[in-house]
Amino acid sequence: MNTILSNIRFKAEQMTVPPSQSARNPQLICQNSINLICPNPNSWPTHTGPGPMIEFLFLISRQGKTRLTKWYGTYDTKARQRAVRDVTNLVLSRPPKMCAFIEWKDKKIVYKRYASLFFVACVGNDDNELVTLEKIHLFVEILDRYFGNVCELDIIFNFHRAYHILDELVIGGHLQDTSKKEVLKSCSTMDDMMDDEKESGG
């Protein structure tokens, strides 16, 4: 251990910048510090991106009624209608004990049933299905805390709140916040603003 510390101290002394040079180029000290910690820039960690992208997300009832749709990928009107119809048929015709992952075109459908609603997400063919399931479950947990034992009627009559919760979680198809507390705090702020507007308008 003493040998390692001595080597680091020796390298630091070698990289010490004279006062005259540091005055002319203050960035030199910062660069030398970085080189001391990680001499090879190619070995620096790189950002791998925000994770799997959700193409779209549906909430479908057992009767085949679409209760919520959110699109993150680029789909025209006809493609959206076709996707809703095809995915709904695939999910509802699926036996309960079968796997919750379905290959669809060049993508994958990941779904999970909660009470009378199917939460369905579409992701890329190479994306992680379990991560997508975790995102769905997080969305359901926040809905459950917000509404208190959420049910299908809560989504029907308060769909704008469900969309707001989803927008707090997912932006551009990528998960942005995993804190249930922060999302619920944002929803509470939105509710207070809506109440204030109603009172001022009345």
Average pLDDT of each block of 10 consecutive residues along the chain (202 residues)?
48 48 45 43 39 89 95 93 96 92 94 94 92 94 92 92 93 90 89 79 60
Report pLDDT for 51: 59
Report pLDDT for 122: 96
Report pLDDT for 195: 77
CA-to-CA dists, residue 100 to 56, 94, 109, 119, 201, angstroms: 16, 9, 8, 11, 47
Longest dimension (CA), the chain: 78
CA-to-CA dists, residue 44 to 15, 40, 199, 202, angstroms: 20, 7, 55, 59
Report pLDDT for 33: 42
If you search the block for the tokens 């251990």, which residue do you land on?
1
| Residue 171 dihedral angles phi and psi, to the nearest 5° | -130, 125
